[in-house]
A and B are shown apart, each in its own frame.
Chain A
Amino acid sequence: MKNTTKFLLVISVITSVIANAQKISWVNGDKDVIAVHSILGYDDGGYYIYRYTNEREAREAYYDGDFIEKHSYDGKIIYTKSADYSEGKNTFLFRNIYMMKTGFILVNYDNKSENFCAVKINLDGTFSDKKDVLCHGKLMPGLGKILKYKFYGGVSNDKAYFLGYYHEDKNDITIKVLNDDLSEKWSKNVSFPVDGDFTITKALTDGNKAYFLVNVKDSKNRSRYSMITVDGGSNTVKSIRLNPEGDNSIYSVDFRIAKTGEILFTASYEKNMPSGFFSLDEGSTGYAVMRIDANSGKENISKSTDFDKDLILKFVTEKKWKRVKAYMS
């Protein structure tokens, strides 16, 4: 690094200006920080980032492993920890990192090996005990066999539970719910009660149950959504059709466990047209909100709202609005 750049870095360690009652400070550590993939989270002592190279001064960063790094709020690097884990001749590369209550669960689901493996790095940067390593499946040499479906994961709202699942056959789903310390809370292999081709859009857990948002394409290629609930304490698998939008097509969705404990489902939708007149994906004409009782599956709230004319006119012409109105009325 050039001396002039170092000088600028030093004088800019903490520089603040006042702008419209907001203050902005840029904080820099001892060295350049490059190849940052994401900010994982934070606590009182600083924030945690995920990087994919250990090089700091090369502008053209290259991948040489995965690293978790903790930074203090005044710009110091507290630790850099390689997230690679070796066991015997096998080295696991972890590309997906989840922040939990007491550390990070790292999962390899690169879709290139027939295994699922999770390890944990504690918040202080140390690897958790080896006994916490949980592996499933058989390791394959090289690229190995490519799974038909990827492995996915998710974290409960309280960051106490991790949900992992994969399916190798159409309806055959393996589900694992892990505690924060990587011990297994429950595991099940279930069949989803869904007719037709489906994809899992998102999966959630509250520790006791796993909830899956399943997208099913109908014969007209319209997206239909159902929620599949798997109870870890029983063999119960329930399916609920999510239909807040009536006969319209859903474009984009969000699915989460609300603070009330309800399942909160939101979507933007496109009002359907007479067959053959318009193609799909011409634009959202409204949005829907559903709140569902997580235990009974009862719809507590189900409401669809069309966007009003003034808003849509900002995106389309008056001429097109006449056609929009014809279908929204």
Chain B
Amino acid sequence: MEKGKGIYELTIKEVIENPDNSILILAEQYDGGGYTNGTDYNYNDVLIIKVKPNGTQDWITRIHKKQNNQVPYFADMASSVGYDIVGNNMYLVYNDNEQNAKLSTDEIDAKGDDIKTIDLEASSSELILETLDLANGSIKRSIIPDQYGRKGDKTVVFCGFTKQMGDKFITYRTNFRHNMDQFGQIFIQ
């Protein structure tokens, strides 16, 4: 991702207003489209910036990830992050390569550009939950296990599709092995 003199392809994805008129800017490195040899869609690091009501920065936090897919509709839906705010935390969910899943945030950061990319159709994925403390921007990473617990199941949650509904996410997933799509709910408790 070292292509320029700043943060390459950083796109503002969402701006969230807090009750105290501070805002959260959610931005993501997105690079996608058609090329000579086909299409390629990359959804990489996420930045979350908290800006005080007077416009000055409170904190900035980076979530390091590398997601890739070649199918336009599928890439948009399965890549990126879903997010929800409950209480004093922001929760973000996304698919990650299972080889990254058990690493801590510091270990992921230390790997830099060497973290494993998840190709959402080819790689085995884990559903990651990042818990972001809105007071100071610290994050805690954990795995949301597949409720079936069957080894070898190829399930991808459509995190880009996820919608916040109060204290839960409504999301959608597809299970290639069992040829089955489902809606799901992730409850924050």
Give residues in A with beta carbon < 8 Å to B.
5, 8-9, 12, 15-17, 19-29, 32-34, 36, 38-39, 41-42, 47, 59, 71, 73, 75, 251-254, 256, 258-260, 264, 266-268, 270-271, 273, 278, 281-285, 287, 289, 291, 301-303, 305, 307, 311-312, 314-317, 320, 323-324, 327
Nearest-CB distance from B62 to chain A (Å)?
Answer: 7
* Chain B residues, Cβ within 8 Å of A29: 183
A9 to B178, CA, bound (A): 10
A291 to B45, CA, bound (A): 27
Contact of A315 among B6, B173, B179 (CB under 8 A): B6
Interface string of B40-70 (1 = CB under 8 A from A): 0000010001010111110010101000000
A71 to B7, CA, bound (A): 41
Contact of B1 among A28, A253, A301, A315 (CB under 8 A): A315
A15 to B155, CA, bound (A): 16
A315 to B17, CA, bound (A): 28
Q: How large is the interface on B (under 10, 10 to 19, 20 to 34, 35 or more residues)?
A: 35 or more
* Contact in complex: B145, A33 (CB < 8 Å): no
30 sample A-B contacts, Cβ–Cβ < 8 Å, listed by A number: A5-B178, A8-B178, A12-B148, A15-B148, A21-B189, A22-B144, A23-B189, A26-B185, A27-B185, A28-B183, A34-B181, A36-B161, A39-B161, A41-B163, A47-B163, A251-B10, A252-B27, A254-B12, A254-B14, A254-B15, A268-B7, A268-B27, A281-B4, A283-B9, A285-B7, A291-B55, A301-B55, A311-B7, A316-B2, A320-B2
Residue of B nearest to A312 (CB): B6
* Contact in complex: A307, B184 (CB < 8 Å): no
Interface string of B11-55 (1 = CB under 8 A from A): 110110100010101010000000000000000010001010111
* Contact in complex: B10, A284 (CB < 8 Å): yes
A14 to B17, CA, bound (A): 34
Top 9 nearest A-B pairs (CB, nearest first) are A283-B6, A282-B4, A303-B55, A283-B4, A285-B6, A26-B184, A284-B10, A301-B55, A23-B187
* Chain A residues, Cβ within 8 Å of B88: none
* Contact in complex: A19, B145 (CB < 8 Å): yes
* Contact in complex: B129, A268 (CB < 8 Å): no
A305 to B59, CA, bound (A): 12
Contact of B2 among A285, A287, A289, A315 (CB under 8 A): A315
Contact of B60 among A9, A16, A260, A311 (CB under 8 A): A311
* Chain A residues, Cβ within 8 Å of B129: 19-20, 22
Give residues in B with beta carbon < 8 Å to A.
1-12, 14-15, 17, 21, 23, 25, 27, 45, 49, 51, 53-57, 60, 62, 64, 91, 109, 112, 129, 142-145, 147-148, 161, 163, 165, 170, 172-173, 178-189
A36 to B4, CA, bound (A): 37
Nearest-CB distance from B129 to chain A (Å)?
Answer: 6
* Contact in complex: B184, A303 (CB < 8 Å): no
A20 to B179, CA, bound (A): 29
* Chain B residues, Cβ within 8 Å of A301: 53-55
* Contact in complex: A287, B6 (CB < 8 Å): no
Nearest-CB distance from B46 to chain A (Å)?
Answer: 12
* Chain A residues, Cβ within 8 Å of B23: 264, 266, 289
* Chain B residues, Cβ within 8 Å of A254: 12, 14-15, 25
* Chain A residues, Cβ within 8 Å of B11: 251-252, 268
A305 to B189, CA, bound (A): 35
* Chain B residues, Cβ within 8 Å of A266: 12, 15, 23, 25
* Chain B residues, Cβ within 8 Å of A283: 3-10
A25 to B144, CA, bound (A): 11
* Contact in complex: B147, A24 (CB < 8 Å): yes
Interface centre among B1, B4, B172, B182 (most CB of A within 10 A): B4
* Contact in complex: A32, B180 (CB < 8 Å): yes
Nearest-CB distance from B127 to chain A (Å)?
Answer: 8
* Contact in complex: A282, B8 (CB < 8 Å): yes
Nearest-CB distance from B50 to chain A (Å)?
Answer: 11
